[in-house]
Amino acid sequence: MVDEDQFRRTYEEVMTRPCPFEKAILTRACACPQAGKTHIGEREAVNCSSDGAQETCVAFVQQLRRRANFVLGLTRTPGALPHAQAFKIQCGGLLGLQRSLDPFADESRVADVNGLLKRALKRFGTWDEFPYPEIMQTVSAYQQWRRRARRGR
């Protein structure tokens, strides 16, 4: 078993372009052709294969974080969010953006994160023009799947 400090050091050494949507990709809530999985000890991590794609994703996550404080019940923007809140921003933000571009799109999964962000930038022009009120509704309503209780126990 790798201790947490060693994992963090190795993660920082190995991950040249960490994916800002790593949590969503690892749980298969979304996918991206730019994402490549890497194993560090017993864990998986996600690297981006493109500087440009990573920059675009980082910019969108920063926009989501700036606007999600109220939705998450935060009074300030902390450094790192707890897993559940980061997951809610990543998945809810992507699904909300996808819904704003195509109301009839699959509501459970984003198949191409990089493609979605490219389409959105083409349609809305700048990050500031994105429909954040609608996106934040999806972030607020997003619930991570829960394990079902086993039957017969």
Domain count, the chain: 1
Q: What is the mean pLDDT of the chain?
A: 85
Range(s) of the domain holding residue 130: 51-141
CB atoms within 10 A of CB 51: 10
- State which amino acid sits at residue 102: D
Q: Where are the beta strands (DSSP E) in 50-95?
A: none
d(Cα 114, Cα 5) in Å, to the nearest integer?
A: 31
d(Cα 4, Cα 10) in Å, to the nearest integer?
A: 10
d(Cα 136, Cα 69) in Å, to the nearest integer?
A: 10
d(Cα 79, Cα 38) in Å, to the nearest integer?
A: 25
**Is 28 part of a structural domain of the chain?**
no
**pLDDT tens by residue, 84-113:** 788 888 999 999 999 999 988 877 889 999
**Is 18 part of a structural domain of the chain?**
no
Strand partners, 45: 38
Question: Could you please report the per-residue DSSP string of 84-96?
Answer: HHHHHHHHHHHHH
Position with higher pLDDT, 131 vs 82: 131
pLDDT band at 127 (very low <50, low <70, confident <90, very high): very high
**Is 22 part of a structural domain of the chain?**
no
**Is 35 part of a structural domain of the chain?**
no
Q: In this predicted structure, what is the pLDDT of residue 49? A: 93
Q: In this predicted structure, what is the pLDDT of residue 4? A: 77
**Is 126 part of a structural domain of the chain?**
yes
Q: How many residues does the chain have?
A: 153
d(Cα 47, Cα 42) in Å, to the nearest integer?
A: 16
pLDDT band at 70 (very low <50, low <70, confident <90, very high): confident
Q: What is the pTM of this model?
A: 0.83
**Is 27 part of a structural domain of the chain?**
no
Q: In this predicted structure, what is the pLDDT of residue 130? A: 97
**Is 149 part of a structural domain of the chain?**
no
**Is 114 part of a structural domain of the chain?**
yes
